[in-house]
């Protein structure tokens, strides 16, 4: 197989290697995420748990990437670092050309709000608020005017095909619709990365496909997507699959190679 781009785009191994092996050098703007030797450990009363032991990762704008790995391999730790919820003990993290691994907590919070849209397994919607109000919330915090909030929130709901259900509360929506509201909320600030931690973890397989169709559409529109999952069938929807083991990357390949290796079909949506 040739190592070229498909219609969404996967960076090549050589391109990634060049960017991760240049310590201290600001990556070109096209690289939305670059980590070099990223290390995170926890001190559990004298015993050191090495959750990440030097992760070198490069993700380009418009890539659609899944991060897989067994329980305890460091997926959530990596996700928290990428999402600017946590800082590393060692190594570099460059997000859109900014060295966020060196930032203060205040600066980090600012970058997080601007650059990252989070989707969680448990949706995390406000039960008494309508879909529209839930999606507006990040804009309330950002100080956007009411009229502009409504406009942008309804556009985000349209993008996930929920324009017709804006006035419904979460308990009036199906699981798939709730997760789509959460995706709209994650997109409303126009983040450079959509970061999803087990986005289908609470959904049946048919509803999981519904959510994967939404991600597929967003990726096609040019949204950079990074999704953490422990399910190979879900991971194979992304264009590139990274496997973590014991706090390091053990493989990083196109989904066709990954699917062949684990013995599944490449999903067609
Ligand atoms: N806050 C924490 N305190 C102590 N140890 C932690 C903490 N978070 C994660 N770990 C440990 O780090 C390792 C990686 O965990 P995690 O990133 O949650 O893996 P995964 O998401 O792949 O299951 C595990 O050994 C876990 O017990
Ligand atoms: Mg986890």
Tell me the pLDDT tens digit for each residue of 190-214.
999 999 999 999 999 999 999 999 9
* Cα 250 to ligand 2 centre (Å): 17
Q: Which of 44, 47, 48, 51 to mutate to test the pocket of ligand 1 (most atoms within 8 A of CB)?
A: 51
pLDDT band at 7 (very low <50, low <70, confident <90, very high): low
**Which tens digits make up the pLDDT trace of 107-132?**
999 999 999 999 999 999 999 999 99
Percent of the chain topping pLDDT 90: 93
* Cα 76 to ligand 2 centre (Å): 4
CATH topology of domain 13-262: Rossmann fold (3.40.50)
| Residues around the ion ligand 2 (C-beta < 5 A) | 75-76
* Cα 50 to ligand 1 centre (Å): 9
Please state the atom number of ligand 1 nearest to the C-alpha of residue 69: 22
Residues 6+ apart with CB under 8 A from 34: 19, 20, 27, 57, 58, 59, 92, 93, 94
**Which tens digits make up the pLDDT trace of 56-104?**
999 999 999 999 999 999 999 999 999 999 999 999 999 999 999 999 9
Sequence ranges of the domains in the chain: 13-262
Q: Which residues contact ligand 1 via a Cβ below 6 A?
A: 42, 44, 49, 51, 69, 71-77
Phi, psi of 90 (to 5 degrees): -155, 160
* Cα 75 to ligand 1 centre (Å): 8
């Amino acid at each position: 197989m040739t190592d070229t781009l498909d219609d969404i785009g996967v960076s090549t191994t050589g391109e990634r290697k060049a960017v991760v092996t240049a310590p201290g050098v600001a990556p070109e703007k096209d690289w939305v995420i670059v980590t070099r030797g990223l290390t995170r450990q926890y001190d559990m009363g004298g015993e050191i748990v090495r959750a990440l032991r030097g992760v070198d990762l490069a993700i380009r704008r418009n890539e659609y990437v899944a991060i897989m790995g067994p329980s305890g391999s460091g997926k959530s730790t990596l996700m928290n670092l990428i999402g600017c919820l946590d800082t590393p003990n060692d190594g570099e993290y460059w997000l859109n050309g900014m060295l966020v691994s060196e930032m203060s907590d205040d600066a980090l919070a600012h970058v997080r709000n601007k650059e990252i849209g989070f989707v969680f397994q448990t949706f995390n919607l406000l039960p008494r608020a309508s879909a529209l109000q839930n999606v507006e919330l990040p804009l309330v915090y950002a100080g956007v005017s009411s009229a502009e909030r409504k406009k942008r929130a309804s556009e985000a709901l349209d993008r996930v095909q929920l324009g017709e259900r804006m006035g419904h509360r979460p308990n009036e929506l199906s699981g798939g619709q709730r997760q789509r509201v959460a995706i709209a909320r994650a997109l409303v600030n126009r983040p450079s990365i959509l970061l999803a931690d087990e986005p289908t973890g609470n959904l049946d397989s048919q509803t999981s496909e519904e959510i994967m169709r939404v991600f597929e559409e967003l990726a096609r529109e040019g949204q950079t997507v990074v999704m953490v999952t422990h399910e190979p069938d879900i991971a194979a929807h992304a264009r590139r699959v990274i496997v973590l083991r014991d706090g390091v990357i053990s493989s990083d390949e196109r989904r066709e190679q990954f699917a062949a290796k684990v013995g599944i079909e490449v999903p067609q949506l």
